[in-house]
A and B are shown apart, each in its own frame.
Chain A
Amino acid sequence: MVQSYRLSEWCSNAPVLEEDLALTNFALDMTGRAQVLLTYAGKVEGSGKTDDDLAYRRKEREFYNHLVMELPNGDFAFTIARLLFTSAYEYYFFTELKHSADEALAAVAAKTVKEVKYHLAHASDWVLRLGDGTAESHKRMQQAVNELWPYTGELFETSNADAVLRDKNIAVDLAPVKALWRTHVLSVLTEATLEQPEDGYMHSGGSKGVHTEHLGHILSEMQYLQRAYPEATW
């Protein structure tokens, strides 16, 4: 949902019309997925909360998204590099989740894999084009990859809750996901004549609700209507 919000910010601002369509189409897929997952989360929690309650009435510290999702869009290269990292993660993550013992999650995963592989193909194409493009596009692409790399470690962090769910075959084992992710990402970077940054310090905190300063700004805009007019409906 958070990355969907970021991609929506490209609407009418992308470099070309086709890209405007592509990025907002990704955002639509992500919003659709968030809607199904949040509805299900409300059901599992048993508190009667709806998808809208969870999207628009949660506080910043109650959001558990990966930090990489909330970073500002930066230039087009930054948005595309992020999309490569996150869509590769989602592709391999949801491919595994298809085998979850939880039928609702497995269903979402099956649907998501179909959609995300187009996101991944698109992002991979652009990284190649920009990385192996002009001196300027190469420089910007490399810079984006370098800036984002320290946010990729968090994608593969696991908590105690994950371990409990994995024992029940509900959650995914992230070790094989990480291996597949690295193979794909590194092969795209190499082909795009880009260098792989070193695995140094990795940012963390999303799973504990500790965010960058950017999430609060997203929520202040995204949740404005429900905060200002609490019972408003479509």
Chain B
Amino acid sequence: MVVPTFSKAAILRILSAIPDPEIPVVNITEMGMLRDVVIGDSGYEIIITPTYSGCPAMSLIEQDIKMTLEASGVRPVTVRLVQEPAWTTDWMSEEAKEKLRKYGIAPPLHSSCSQDVFAHNVITCPRCHSTDTIMLSRFGSTACKSLYKCNECKEPFEYFKCH
């Protein structure tokens, strides 16, 4: 039997140091991927949800969680992947959106759950804040982003799609 010596708040604090492997300016808590921490007799269970079904970063995140916690003396740790409720960009914190913008990625406008993807949204350039932008490709370097170009400052940028 394991005697819990770390509170849930302490665990969450440790986990908030883990960056998103693909967008390292935000951490997994801010992204809304970290769903819960369950402390029980058999150890610490960390519950996470994937942003996309095929997100290749999930196994890396799982590994990061185990390594980070074990380095702080938290053990034994198990990581459970849940599909329900499905991740949405609504869970992204305002801080995270601001960090994305500063990093050069336009943050999601709203939740896409009720939005028509055929509608053409006005995306603001994260660099010069112009609204005169054009979509170059619906898919960017990762499944969660689209490629845009700003007609004002002429810089290309990525937009984190609503999900």
Contacts and interface: CB of A to CB of B under 8 A. Distances in A.
Nearest to A23: B139
Nearest to B137: A18
Nearest to A234: B59
A29 interface: yes
B83 A29 contact: no
Interface residues of A, number: 28
Contacts of B117: 117-118, 120-121
Contacts of B85: 107, 110
B86 A110 contact: yes
B86 A22 contact: no
B147 to A, nearest CB: 7
A124 to B, nearest CB: 7
Contact of B137 (A22, A30, A115, A121): A22
A108 B53 CA distance: 9
Contacts of B112: 114, 117
A103 interface: yes
B139 A111 contact: no
B84 A32 contact: no
B158 to A, nearest CB: 12
Interface in B73-104: 83-88
Contacts of A121: 117-118, 138
B25 to A, nearest CB: 22
B136 A29 contact: no
Contacts of B55: 32
A223 interface: no
Among A114, A117, A118, find the residue whose CB has the most chain B CB atoms closer than 10 A. A114
Contacts, number: 73
A107 B56 CA distance: 19
A202 interface: no
Contact of A18 (B50, B83, B86, B139): B139
A33 interface: yes
A198 B85 CA distance: 42
A133 B139 CA distance: 22
B53 A103 contact: no
Interface of B: 50, 52-56, 83-88, 112-113, 117-118, 136-141, 143, 147, 161, 163
Given A25-B143, A111-B86, 9 more contacts: A18-B137, A29-B53, A29-B54, A33-B54, A107-B84, A111-B53, A111-B83, A120-B117, A121-B118
28 contacts: A18-B147, A21-B139, A21-B140, A22-B137, A25-B139, A28-B52, A28-B54, A29-B54, A31-B54, A32-B52, A32-B53, A33-B53, A36-B53, A36-B83, A106-B84, A107-B85, A111-B53, A111-B86, A114-B86, A114-B163, A115-B52, A115-B53, A117-B112, A118-B117, A118-B139, A120-B117, A122-B138, A124-B118
